[in-house]
Structure 1
Amino acid sequence: MKILCTSDIYQWEQATMLSQNLAPAELMERAAEALFQAIQQYVGERQASFVILCGFGNNGGDGLAVGRMLQAAGHIVNVYLLAHTVYSTENEINQQRLRDMEIPISALAPESFLEVPEKSILIDALFGYGLSRPLDDDWKALIDQINTAPNPVLSVDIPSGLFADKPTPIEAPIVQATVTYTFACPKLSLLFPKYAAFSGNLQILDIGLRKDIQNTLSTNYNYIQKENIQALTRPLKKFSHKGTYGHTYIVGGRYGSIGAAVLAGKAALKTGCGLITAYIPTCGYTVLQSAFPEAQVQTDPLETHISMLPEQITDYDAVGIGMGMGTHQDTENTLRQLFERFKLTSKIPAMLFDADAINILARNPDWHALIPSNSILTPHPRELERLIGTWTDDFEKIDKVRDWSRLYQQIVVVKGANSAIVLTDGTVHFNSTGNPGMATGGSGDVLSGIITSLLAQRYPPADAALLGVYLHGLAGDIAAISIHKKSITATDIINHLSAAWQHVSCDS
């Protein structure tokens, strides 16, 4: 799904209305109906009480329209409308529809004191994606009342005060939503960690805008959905054997961190590669052979850390390097020697760099040009900062990653909620799976194993990154059905990879 800027969303809406002979008020009614259905699902079968805060534009019109629908469905509705000299036409139409149903509309001002019943649900429909400047301090008291109330807050399209596609000053008044129901496609700011406290849980509502029109609009940003992933998966072949699905080579571990190689290797095998070999320091031999009997194991001459790599490393289909590896000078020299070896051969395996391999690259910026093209790097935020430098906001962060990826022709997976996969052409693909329970030690090692396995199965690097990140998050989501999110471990993610494949595989 394309993620569009606000001007393109407006163009998309206008073109849809023109092609469907639809009046703006009719599109608003369609959006309100989708919102109503989502809110009904949120509250379940019970009668609920709502306090709906409506602005003077079309976002407020959405709030007025859904208020009418909630009242008609038997809920208790208290509607507040921001006092203003001019309202949008569709807003005025919905004001009249409420009056026709004798639903009271109370006046609202920035200095208003809200009376919110204890069990009511707040609906924030004050400002939408058309907001052009930050809310000033006049709004602070009202927004603070919303944010400090114990009531759930449901934001319509985007939390009021938050810009859709440019940085919002964090000190500006912004509604903190429990759930954001956004129309048609995600707004870019809703996917960034800096604004997570405001967006809450994100749900995308289909309001019938034409997909073929959306596809004509240009964007560098995309939101990965199930159908995108299903188009990438490949069926198993009847006459295949273990060599058909590739040989994965995992390089990692040091004294005290052999588990990282175990997790990466297990995840790789569960993802479908035919063979797995792990290269680890000698101290990890017994650990790995005992914990993971399916793996072949090669050991470094040194006991505690990696100091060399075998000549045969180029014989493997894909190599994942860095998990738990450490940054000892011997290990750093080994990575440099690997790059030098790649200069002398055209037989270079598909490569993934994680964790300490990225940390070593970060302190040797002149090595960045030596990384084989279309390799995949999977940094967490601190590793990314070491690699590309600091940033002032998430928009700048993504721009810097895009510049780095295009310059060095590398794929970067910016790990976190809505992990961003930045491809060599500068396009960014945000993931839609995963949950906070996956923020646990070893989860990143599992992701590296998954992606390296897909590379070994000869998925193109871009496809391997997209599919791997989605599968990883989906396995975590499936785990969360039966395991509390606080208790999810990296092993739980591995154990639910099969169920994740069942959801997306073309041969399920």
Structure 2
Amino acid sequence: MKIYSPKQIYEADKATIAKEGIPSYNLMERAGGYIYEWMHKRLQGQQVPIKVFCGIGNNGGDGLVVARLLLKNGYNVDAYIVNCSDKRSPDFLKAYDELKSASKKWPELIKKEEDFPAITPNDIVVDAIFGIGLNRCPEDWVKKLFVKINDSKAYVLSIDMPSGMYADRGLQKDDVIIHSAFVLSFQSPKLAFFLPETGKYITMWDVLDIGLDPEFLANTETDTVLIDKPDIQRIYRQRPQFTHKGMYGHSLIIGGSYGKMGAIILAAKAALRAGSGLVTAYVPQIGVPILQTAIPEVMVETDNFNGKVFEEIDFQTEANAIAIGPGMGTDEKTVDAMSAFLKAQKAPIVIDADALNILAKRPSLMEQVPDLSILTPHPGELERLIGKWDDDFDKLEKTAKFAKKHNIIIVIKGAHTITVYDYKLHINTTGNPGLSTAGTGDVLTGVITGLLAQGYHPMEAALMGVYHHGLAADIAINQYAVEGLIASDVTAFLGRAYMDLFAKPEHEQQQ
């Protein structure tokens, strides 16, 4: 699914108006009508108090249309105009006139804190104040209204975006955002929904198709896309009947150190579960009995030193894909060993954990990282690589520039893992808070490496690996709950994730 920028949505509005030969107000009526139908389907005429707060732009006009339709159909509605400016959009004014013509219950004007109405936990609040049009910090009295709505504990339905949230920049120190129980987003979700700083203000969201020109939307390229099951189905390669292990690649996982052999065990086993035909773990000598006991399916190579950390990386395995970093440590000898290792690499590799920290410790090594390599940092590792950022949008911009400069793929791990390459963002749709536990990043490294070994393009391996990793966790929590999930559970459910990829929905199975 494409995620359109505010500018692209405005252009889509214009294209639709021109193609259909309609006034722009018709789009407002259409959008308001869809919102009303969404609400009516769930409320079925219940006389719950509904308070509609409208700004003075087109988002506010949408709210006025909703208020009119709710009143017309017998709902208990009060509408309020948040008078945050002297400028009113022409379509807002038309929607205002239509509401006054249809009902004796005219909207109340709010110009200061003393005008705020009482809001109770039993109310439904429709937030139609700003939407995607917000481009400056609201006045203090408007922010106090936001606080009042948040403190009321009313159920909040926001139109297009929660008011106070910007569509294209992060939060500033004194910003206030309305906390939305549900957001009805026009045509596509917004990037801000998936970022840690802003996404926390939204409990749930849905997309309303308001009938913008489909040809224009199809032909409009976006910098951000949402990755879901159909995208992964297109990537997946079905295996023929007559095959053998040699056809599915040899993964080499480099890592481990004294006390941290678990990381490479998790990564190596995940590479197997992802479908790699062969897997070899390259570890310090102290790790041999541990690996051979923990995973009999995995082969083991070691360095030539009998120490607790790597002093060299010199393997004989002819691998189709290599990952480096899980549990490896950042000892100075290991840093030197990795430096020599990188100089010999030509094909894309997967770089995680301590290998990322080594790159941050010695930035010149980035010049040795092969093109299209996949880096999988968590936020702390990312900051050490690219430096501090001002907000989540700044983080994405800095990450995109860093990835472009070095021609690499960066997987930013998080609640909505974002894969960045060539200035394009790919937002994952699977995963849950159960993944916030030790070792799940090592599992992801193994999954991506296993896919890369099978011949998937690095971007395909990254996207499919992230999706499957999250999907396995989503399936696993049905058995373990989010609190009980551990990294090895994710590996155990990777096979179920493959099965789910082409499973028919339950209602189709029943039919």
Whether TM exceeds 0.5 here: the answer is yes
In the alignment, which of 153, 169, 187 is matched to residue 150 of structure 1?
153
Q: Residues of 2 paired with 1:413 and 1:204: CA distance?
A: 26
Deviation at 1:11, TM superposition (A): 0.4
What amino acid is the match of 2:291? L
After the TM superposition, which residues 311-460 of structure 1 pair with which residues of structure 2 at under 5 Å, given as runs? 311-313=315-317, 315-342=318-345, 348-423=346-421, 425-460=422-457
Q: 1:403 Cα deviation (Å)?
A: 1.7
| CA–CA separation in structure 1 for the residues paired with 2:279 and 2:45 | 51
Q: 1:201 aligns with which of 200, 204, 210?
A: 204
- Measured in 2, the distance between the counterparts of 1:134 and 1:397 equals 21
Correspondence 1:184 to 2:181: no
Q: TM-score normalised to the size of structure 2?
A: 0.89
2:227 corresponds to which residue? 224
Equivalent position amino acid for 1:114 in 2: P
Q: In structure 2, the residue corresponding to 1:78 is in which secondary structure?
A: strand
Q: Secondary structure at the match of 1:484?
A: helix
- Secondary structure of 2:242's counterpart equals coil
Distance 1:220 1:407 in 2: 17
Partners of 1:49 and 1:258 lie apart in 2 by 59
- Asked if the contact 1:136–1:172 (Cα under 8 Å) also holds between the matched residues in 2, the reply is no
User: Cα distance 1:73–1:488, how it changes in 2: closer, same or farther (>3 A)?
Assistant: farther
Q: Cα distance, 1:434 vs. partner?
A: 2.4
- Taking every aligned residue pair, what percent have the same amino acid on both sides? 39
387 and 69 in structure 1: CA distance in 2 versus 1, 3 angstrom threshold: same
* Secondary structure in structure 1 of the residue aligned to 2:150: helix
Q: CA deviation at 1:355?
A: 0.6
1:81 counterpart residue number: 81
**Which segment drifts farther, 426-435 or 101-110?**
101-110
Matched residue type, 2:2? K
Q: Give the superposed CA RMSD.
A: 2.8
Instruction: Check whether the contact 1:58–1:91 (CA below 8 A) recurs between aligned residues.
Output: yes
Indicate conservation of the 8 Å contact 2:182/2:204, yes or no: yes
Q: 1:271 aligns with which of 270, 274, 286?
A: 274
**Partner residue in 2 for 1:11:** 11
- The match for 1:461 is 458
Aligned-pair distance for 1:121?
Answer: 2.8
Q: 1:446 to 1:186 in 2, by over 3 A?
A: same
Q: Distance in 2 between matches of 1:368 and 1:44?
A: 60
TM-score by length of 1: 0.89
SS in 1 for 2:119: coil
Q: Deviations over 1:112-162 (max 9, x none)?
A: 333123222322111111122111223232111122222332221111122
Matches within 5 A, 1:15-30: 15-30=15-30
Query: What CA distance in whole angstroms lies between the structure 1 residues aligned with 2:368 and 2:175?
Result: 44
Superposed CA offset, 1:193-228 (max 9, x none): 222333443433322323431243344333323332
- Give how far 1:33 is off: 4.3
Structure 1 position 110, deviation (Å): 4.3
CA distance in 1, matches of 2:229, 2:42: 23
Counterpart of 1:345 in structure 2 is: none
Aligned to 1:471: 468
- Over 3 Å counting, the alpha-carbon distance change for 1:85 and 1:330 in structure 2 is closer
Say which of 304, 307, 310 aligns to 2:311.
307
Instruction: Look up the match of 1:109.
Output: 111
- Is the partner of 1:178 in helix, strand or coil? strand
Choose from 250, 253, 257 the match for 1:250.
253
Deviation at residue 72 of structure 1 after TM alignment: 6.4
| Cα distance in structure 2, aligned partners of 1:287 and 1:40 | 61
Separation in 1, partners of 2:322, 2:219 = 38
Separation in 2 of the partners of 1:25 and 1:220?
Answer: 29
CA deviations 1:60-101 (Å, max 9, x no partner) are 222233344555677543332324755434434444554525
Corresponding pairs, count:
501
Match of 2:3, SS?
coil
Displacement of 1:6 in angstroms is 1.9
CA contact (8 A) 1:233 1:506 kept: no
Secondary structure (helix, strand or coil) at the match of 2:281 reads strand
Q: How has the CA–CA distance of structure 1 residues 49 and 266 changed in structure 2, closer, same or farther, with 3 Å as cutoff?
A: farther
The whole-number CA distance in structure 1 between the counterparts of 2:184 and 2:263 is 38
Residue 28 of structure 1: CA displacement? Answer: 2.6
For residue 342 of structure 2, give the secondary structure of its aligned residue in structure 1.
Answer: helix
Report the AA paired with residue 275 of structure 1: L
Gaps of 5+ in 1: 343-347
User: How many angstroms apart in 2 are the aligned matches of 1:35 and 1:503?
Assistant: 33
Report if the CA contact (8 A) 1:155-1:180 is conserved: yes
2: distance between equivalents of 1:503 and 1:18? 43
